[in-house]
Every structure is written in C-alpha cells, then in structure tokens.
Structure 1
Amino acid sequence: MKSFLRMCLTALLVVFLGTAGGCGVGETDTTAWPRADQEIQQGSKQEELLVYCGAGLRKPMEEIAVMFQEETGVLVQFSFGGSAQCIGKILTVDKGDAFLPGDVAELKELIEREMIDRQKAVVFHVPVLAVPRGNPAGITGIEDLGAPGVKVVLGDPEANPIGKLADKVLKEYSIFDKVEPNVVARTATVNELFTYLALKQADAAIIWEDNLLGSEDVELIETAVLADYIKTVPVVSLKCSANPEMANRLVEFTAGEKAMAIWEKWGFKPVPKVE
C-alpha cells in the first residue's frame, strides 16, 4: 500500500513540475518573436532588438518581426502594452531600440526629452463605433451612448490613444456628461475593449477599425462623426539603443513596402509616401 502511495505522489510531482514552468496569464507582456527557444549555435550570441509596441499593433508587428529576422538574422523582442505604459518603461529603464504607439501624438514626451533618433509614419489608425454582434442595445450613433441603460466601455485616456480620442469626441459633441455615467469600465488597452464587446459585457465602445478584422462577435456601426479623428501610427528608433544602425533599419523596414503588405492584411491603411 505504501509503495502504491509513493508511486501516486511521484506521478503528481512530475505533473506539477511539468506545468509549473509555464507563465500564467498576465505574468509578462514581453514576448520574443519568433520564440527564443530556437536553437542557437553554441558559442554564438543571438543579435536582438527590444521594441516597445502598442497592444493593438501586436498581430501585424509579430509577422513583420518574423520577416525582419529572416532578412537580417536579428531577433525582435517585444514589450506590448498601452502607449503610456510603454513610454513609462522607456523613461524608467532608458533601454530599448524602437517604439510604435497607436498615435503619433504619444511621442510628445520622448520628443521633448530628445530621445528619438529616427521617425517614420506607417499607417492610419481609424476609430469606429463598435457593438456586440446583433447590436442588442440598438445603437445607431454616438448620441445613443448617453441613453439610459446603455453600457459603454472606453479606453483609459491616461493609458492609450483610443481613450484620449473617445473623450475628445464626446466632449466636442457635448455628450460627455451624458455618456460618462454609462461607462462601466475604462481599459488599459484597446484589446480589452474588444473583449468586453465580444463577451457582451458592454453595449458599445469606440475602438480601432482594424480590431474588427475577421471578427464574428463584434460589428461596426457606420457613423461619419469619427472620420475627423483618424490618427497616424509612427515607428521610431530610440537614442538609447545599443544597436542604432539595426534599430534604424527596423524603422525603415516597418514602414517599407514588404511590411506594408502585412499591415494591409490586418486591416490598416498605409500612409501615402512623401516624394
């Protein structure tokens, strides 16, 4: 009997140790892409770049990183998060090679501190009014966000560009005071806004158009109001980069023709090239 119990305990310990090494949800927002478990020849060191990136840009940037590594052999290490979170990390550790926020206006503090080496405009970020599939609350425009009983979720204006944009729109159309009591959550990233809608935990949100690509759970409500609030996504290299030549090469690559095919695949519209 004791022998049997020892065998059972041993089996449980093996299972525990086999799973304990995995990261739990939310433990880290730093991702190596492709994953750093790829074999590296003994005695050689993998050349890397650290890129801070808005969470809503994750899908295209992960693909672009793969293509960049295939061309240069350089591994791109990402730190994803809200723009404010990314900027906070850059200012705190003074380390990293490049940064992509959801709106060029987010670069203001880095520009003032003279921390940017090279800057390129990449794609447009188009805001839209979105609702859960089927539009259960019957939303027809931004004015409906202030209607009694409507549950609204918005980005945190202190954390991300979509939150700043939403507040600006609501204030300029003089409906902020009506909508604010209906706000059930403010999120740190645009991806969280999408999740609220997909799970039908909110009736409406202002998100980016590209978030809707391929979605079966969230739909767009056509409104001309938001057409005046389109933003531009930039990519910049940082002066704190340990590899400025390769950081600048990544900037050019991210805004270049090869990468643009990936941006468009994920629903982004390219910024016209200035001749």
Structure 2
Amino acid sequence: MTAFASIAAAELVVFAASSLRDAFEELGRRFESSQPAAKVVFNFAGSQELRTQIEHGAGADVFASADGGQLRPLEAAGLIDAPRIFARNEPVIVVPAGNPAGIGGLQDLPRAQRIVLGAPEVPIGSYALRILDAASALYGPAFAKAVGAHVASRELNVRQVLAKVRLGEADAAIVYRTDALAARDTVEAISIPRQVNALAEYPIAALRGARDPAMARAFVELVLSPGGRAILSRFGFQ
C-alpha cells in the first residue's frame, strides 16, 4: 500500500448541517486526538443539500442533519445505519446589534422591513414556516402574511441567513440559538414563545458504504458520548 493510500484510508468524511460547524470542528479535533491515525474532513452545508449529494453517490462516511426528514429516505434506501438523535436546538429571532427595528418579540417581527428566512426545503426554513403558522393562531390570521410581505430573501443554509443580519443586509432573521450564540458580538437574540416554537432535533448516522465502518461508527459514538454532549452543550445545543 502506498503512503497516499494509507492516508486516504484514515480519512473520515463527515457531512454535517451548517449549524453544527463550530461544535463539530471541536469534536473533530477530539476524535483525532483519540485516534492519531484519523483525519476528519468536514463538508458543512444545508442538510437537504447534503442528503442530495449522498443520494448522488458523494463519498460521505457520517451524516449529521438538522432534522430527521433528511435521513429517513436514506435509511429507507439502506444507505445509512439507524439514525440516532444527538442534540436539540431552539430557533430564535436575530437582529443587528442595537436592534434598530425595535423588535421586542415575535409579535413585532412584521416591523422589520427586511426579513431573511431559510428556504422552505432547508430545515431552518421549514421550522420558521411552522413557527409563523403557529403564531398566526396567537397573533391573528394575518400575522404570517404580514411577515411574508417583508421577506427579502430565503437562503440555502442557516449560516447564510445569519450572514445577512451580520452584514447589515437584513433587519431580522430566524436562526438557531447556537448560531446566535456564535455571532453574539454582532447580533442580538430574541426568544420565540415556547407555545409556537419548533424544537429542532439533530440525528446522526454512519453510512453503510463508509470506507472504514468502524471509524465512522466510532465518530458517531463520540458525538453521543457524555464528552461529546458536553462539547455540544458548550456551543448552545440541548
């Protein structure tokens, strides 16, 4: 076996939702320290995009998604092990530092002239639609329509949504609490009432076609371990 083949055999490719970037990079370092022969390579993107890549034969060893809907078709096709929930995350509203639109809560969201959401096929976009639908029962049937009238763009992953607020290109957006925490120097987070919020559950699974199945499953076990959960908690995951 050549040196190049040896390196390639030790490479673990992890596909992970964009909102997992900071926590998973730390988990990757922890995994490499426990398995010196391993090199963890990440592909961060919207969960729906990652699922499509896997369906088209992309070389992933582990897939961690921001919602279960992206893993169900892969499990049905026999492409992954049984998914396991490893974390939960809470959607919040984010506004630029100083809150120039004066948004005090979800009920004030229509005040924002430029709102950015995730695209409907993206987990954070799907959660946002569920929140707005539920909020219409609380604030009146015109609420979701009033918010929709001010939506400036719908992005393909949550970090793109967050970037619009950080760059001053949006007055408000719905992202995960972990993203708001990571950007707390430039944005402010506003909680969404529990009775209308949609708690995101994150599943993870090893790919059946992983190049090193034992290594892929070892990474999954690290994420699910008390040490892995402690790292996730430090980055704001439940």
Specify the SS of the correspondent of 1:69.
Answer: helix
CA-CA distance at 1:250 after TM superposition: 1.1
Q: Is 1:207 aligned with 2:175?
A: yes
CA RMSD of aligned residues (A): 2.0
| Partner in structure 1 of residue 32 of structure 2 | 69
Letter in 2 for 1:52: F
Give me the whole-angstrom Cα distance separating, in 2, the residues matched to 1:208 and 1:49: 27
Letter in 2 for 1:241: A
Q: For residues 138-197 of structure 1, what are the alpha-carbon distances to aligned partners after superposition, in whole Å with 9 as ceiling and x for unaligned? A: 1122232234x6210001122x21110001111233322221120111111111121111
Q: How does 1:182-197 map to 2 (within 5 A)?
A: 182-197=150-165
TM-score w.r.t. the length of structure 1 is 0.76
| Partner in structure 1 of residue 227 of structure 2 | 258
Task: Compare relative contact order (CA 8 Å, sep 6+) and give the higher one, 1 or 2.
Answer: 2
List runs of 5+ in structure 1 lacking aligned partners.
1-40, 270-275
| Partner in structure 2 of residue 56 of structure 1 | 19
| Partner in structure 2 of residue 85 of structure 1 | 49
CA-CA distance at 1:255 after TM superposition: 1.2
CA-CA distance at 1:114 after TM superposition: 2.4
Specify whether residues 42 and 88 from structure 1 end up closer, same or farther in structure 2 by C-alpha distance, changes over 3 A only.
Answer: closer
Q: Tell whether the 8 Å contact from 1:146 to 1:178 is kept in structure 2 after alignment.
A: yes
Q: Tell whether the 8 Å contact from 2:91 to 2:192 is kept in structure 1 after alignment.
A: no
Q: Tell whether the 8 Å contact from 2:92 to 2:176 is kept in structure 1 after alignment.
A: yes
Specify whether residues 44 and 186 from structure 1 end up closer, same or farther in structure 2 by C-alpha distance, changes over 3 A only.
Answer: closer
Letter in 2 for 1:197: V
CA-CA distance at 1:118 after TM superposition: 4.0
Deviating more after overlay: 210-219 vs 247-256: 210-219
CA-CA distance at 1:119 after TM superposition: 2.7
Specify the SS of the correspondent of 1:157.
Answer: coil
Q: For residues 75-117 of structure 1, what are the alpha-carbon distances to aligned partners after superposition, in whole Å with 9 as ceiling and x for unaligned? A: 1121111011100110001532110111223222212222221
Specify whether residues 243 and 206 from structure 1 end up closer, same or farther in structure 2 by C-alpha distance, changes over 3 A only.
Answer: same
Letter in 1 for 2:25: E
From 103, 110, 119, the equivalent of 1:146 is: 110
List runs of 5+ in structure 2 lacking aligned partners.
137-142
Give me the whole-angstrom Cα distance separating, in 1, the residues matched to 2:195 and 2:114: 20
| Partner in structure 2 of residue 167 of structure 1 | 129
Q: Tell whether the 8 Å contact from 1:98 to 1:251 is kept in structure 2 after alignment.
A: yes
Q: Is 1:95 aligned with 2:80?
A: no
Count how many residue pairs are aligned between Structure 1 and Structure 2: 227
Specify the SS of the correspondent of 1:229.
Answer: coil
Specify whether residues 188 and 267 from structure 1 end up closer, same or farther in structure 2 by C-alpha distance, changes over 3 A only.
Answer: same
Specify whether residues 52 and 42 from structure 1 end up closer, same or farther in structure 2 by C-alpha distance, changes over 3 A only.
Answer: closer
TM-score w.r.t. the length of structure 2 is 0.88
Q: Is 1:45 aligned with 2:9?
A: no
From 144, 148, 152, the equivalent of 1:176 is: 144
Give me the whole-angstrom Cα distance separating, in 1, the residues matched to 2:72 and 2:5: 39
Give me the whole-angstrom Cα distance separating, in 2, the residues matched to 1:150 and 1:131: 12
Give me the whole-angstrom Cα distance separating, in 1, the residues matched to 2:52 and 2:236: 28
Identity among equivalent pairs (%):
31
Deviating more after overlay: 226-235 vs 71-80: 226-235
| Partner in structure 2 of residue 246 of structure 1 | 215
Q: How does 1:225-244 map to 2 (within 5 A)?
A: 225=194, 228-244=197-213
Q: Tell whether the 8 Å contact from 1:235 to 1:255 is kept in structure 2 after alignment.
A: no
